[in-house]
Amino acid sequence: MEGLASFRAVPSFTSRPRSSILGTALNPRRGNSLSLPSSSSSNVRAQQMESKDDEPEPVKIELKIKEWENSMYHNEVAASQGIRIRRRPPTGPPLHYVGPFEFRLQNEGNTPRNILEEIIWHKDTQVAQLKERQPLYSLKKALDNAPPVRDFIGALRAANSRTGLPGLIAEVKKASPSRGVLRENFDPVEIAQAYEKGGAACLSVLADEKFFQGSYDNMMAIRDAGVKCPLLCKEFIIEAWQIYYARSKGADAILLIAAVLPDLDIKYMTKICKMLGMATLVEVHDEREMDRVLGIEEVEFIGINNRNLETFEVDISNTKKLLEGKRGEEIRKRDIIVVGESGLFTPDDIAYVQEAGVKAVLVGESIVKQSDLEKGVAGLFGKDISLKSV
Ligand SMILES: O=P(O)(O)OC[C@@H](O)[C@@H](O)c1c[nH]c2ccccc12
Report the complex ipTM: 0.99
Among protein residues, the one with the nearest Cα to ligand 1's atom 3 is 342
Q: Are strands 337-341 and 167-172 parallel, antiparallel or unpaired?
A: unpaired
- Give distance in angstroms: CA of 207 to centre of ligand 1: 12
Bridge partners, 168 (sequence order)? 361
Q: Quick one: how far is CA 104 from the chain centroid? A: 29
Q: With a 6 A CB cut-off, is 198 part of the ligand 1 pocket?
A: no
pLDDT at 375: 97
Q: Which of 386, 373, 332, 6 is nearest to 188 (CA)?
A: 373
Q: CA 138 to CA 131: how far, in whole Å?
A: 10
Q: With a 6 A CB cut-off, is 168 part of the ligand 1 pocket?
A: no
At residue 53, what are phi and psi to the nearest 5 degrees?
A: -60, -55
Q: With a 6 A CB cut-off, is 380 part of the ligand 1 pocket?
A: no
Please write the tens of the pLDDT for every residue from 45-96: 444 444 445 556 778 888 888 887 888 888 888 988 999 998 888 776 666 5
Q: CA 18 to CA 124: how far, in whole Å?
A: 24
Bridge partners, 233 (sequence order)? 205, 254
Q: With a 6 A CB cut-off, is 342 part of the ligand 1 pocket?
A: yes
DSSP state of 341: E
Q: CA 205 to CA 203: how far, in whole Å?
A: 6
Say how many residues make up the chain: 390
Q: With a 6 A CB cut-off, is 4 part of the ligand 1 pocket?
A: no
- pTM of the model as a whole: 0.83
pLDDT at 65: 81
DSSP state of 23: I
* 343: region left, alpha or beta (phi > 0 left; psi from -120 to 50 alpha): left
Q: Quick one: how far is CA 366 from the chain centroid? A: 23
Q: How many beta carbons lie within 10 A of that of residue 180, not counting itself?
A: 7
Q: Is 146 exposed, middle or buried (0-12, 13-18, 19+ CB in 10 A)?
A: middle
- Give distance in angstroms: CA of 302 to centre of ligand 1: 14
Q: Quick one: how far is CA 349 from the chain centroid? A: 26
Q: Quick one: how far is CA 33 from the chain centroid? A: 38
Among protein residues, the one with the nearest Cα to ligand 1's atom 9 is 342
pLDDT at 87: 86
pLDDT at 176: 96
Best residue among 234, 254, 280, 289 to mutate for probing ligand 1's pocket (most ligand atoms within 8 Å of CB) is 234
Q: How far is CA 146 from CA 205, 225, 248, 271, 342, in A?
A: 17, 15, 5, 19, 30
- Give distance in angstroms: CA of 337 to centre of ligand 1: 18
- Give distance in angstroms: CA of 282 to centre of ligand 1: 13
Best residue among 208, 315, 353, 362 to mutate for probing ligand 1's pocket (most ligand atoms within 8 Å of CB) is 362
Please write the tens of the pLDDT for every residue from 192-221: 999 999 999 999 999 999 999 999 999 999
Q: Which of 235, 157, 164, 155 is nearest to 195 (CA)?
A: 155
Atom number in ligand 1 closest to CA 343: 3
Identity of residue 239: E
pLDDT at 52: 47
Note whether 47 and 53 are within 8 A (CB): no
- Give distance in angstroms: CA of 206 to centre of ligand 1: 9
Best residue among 307, 311, 349 to mutate for probing ligand 1's pocket (most ligand atoms within 8 Å of CB) is 307
pLDDT at 94: 63
- Give distance in angstroms: CA of 332 to centre of ligand 1: 24
Note whether 270 and 295 are within 8 A (CB): no
Identity of residue 204: S
pLDDT at 70: 83
Among protein residues, the one with the nearest Cα to ligand 1's atom 5 is 342
Identity of residue 65: I
| E strand spans, the chain | 167-172, 175-176, 180-181, 202-206, 231-234, 253-257, 279-284, 301-305, 337-341, 360-363
Q: CA 214 to CA 205: how far, in whole Å?
A: 8
Q: CA 98 to CA 27: how far, in whole Å?
A: 6
Q: CA 121 to CA 112: how far, in whole Å?
A: 8
Atom number in ligand 1 closest to CA 257: 15
Q: With a 6 A CB cut-off, is 363 part of the ligand 1 pocket?
A: yes
pLDDT at 372: 97
Atom number in ligand 1 closest to CA 362: 8
DSSP state of 314: B
For the chain, which residues make up each domain, given as ranges? 2-111, 136-389
Q: With a 6 A CB cut-off, is 117 part of the ligand 1 pocket?
A: no
- Give distance in angstroms: CA of 137 to centre of ligand 1: 32
Atom number in ligand 1 closest to CA 171: 6
Q: CA 242 to CA 269: how far, in whole Å?
A: 10
- Give distance in angstroms: CA of 311 to centre of ligand 1: 13
**Overall fold of domain 136-389:** TIM Barrel (3.20.20)
pLDDT at 96: 58
Please write the tens of the pLDDT for every residue from 48-61: 444 445 556 778 88
Q: How many beta carbons lie within 10 A of that of residue 37, not counting itself?
A: 9
Determine the angle formed by the axes of helices 263-276 and 240-248, rounding to 10 degrees.
30
Which residues of the chain have a pLDDT value below 50? 1-52, 100-107
Q: Is the C-alpha dihedral spanning 71, 77, 80, 84 positive or negative? A: negative
Among protein residues, the one with the nearest Cα to ligand 1's atom 8 is 342
Atom number in ligand 1 closest to CA 236: 16
- Give distance in angstroms: CA of 364 to centre of ligand 1: 7
What is the three-class DSSP state of 58?
A: helix
